[in-house]
Amino acid sequence: MAEYERRDDRRGDRGERRNDRNDNARKLAVPQQTQCRFCRRGEEYVDYKDIETLQKLLTHRGKIYSRKRSGNCAGCQRKVKNAIKRARFMALLPFTA
């Protein structure tokens, strides 16, 4: 019986060590951004004439980056989509590269 008790003690020690490592890893983690670039600036309207900003949200082939990649919230991503489409129609941005 003594052997089984020792094994249980060892498992308990290892488990505690693992938790300590996870706690340290959580402390070192970098906090994520909570708002997209347009929400941080407080912009209600994404201007289709602001080509520099819109080009950062396009690939070199002219495709729009996804929300996950660009970091936009859902509402701002829709505004960006419409602004890019307007800029393309006005020939400020290319449809394809």
Q: Would you state the pLDDT for residue 4?
A: 61
pLDDT of residue 47: 94
Give pLDDT, residue 7: 58
* pLDDT tens by residue, 33-75: 688 899 999 989 999 999 999 999 999 999 999 999 999 999 9
Average pLDDT over residues 18-40: 70
Q: According to the model, what pLDDT value does residue 34 have?
A: 80
The tokens of 13 are what?
């020690």
Instruction: Spell out the domain ranges in the chain.
Output: 1-30, 37-89
pLDDT for 2: 62
Cα gap 71→40, rounded to integer Å: 12
Q: What is the mean pLDDT of the chain?
A: 82
pLDDT of amino acid 40 = 92
The superfamily (CATH) of domain 37-89 is Ribosomal protein S18 (4.10.640.10)
DSSP strand E in the chain: where?
none
Q: Provide the token pair at 27.
A: 């402390």
Cα 15 to Cα 6, 8, 9, 21, 49: the distances in Å are 14, 11, 10, 10, 57
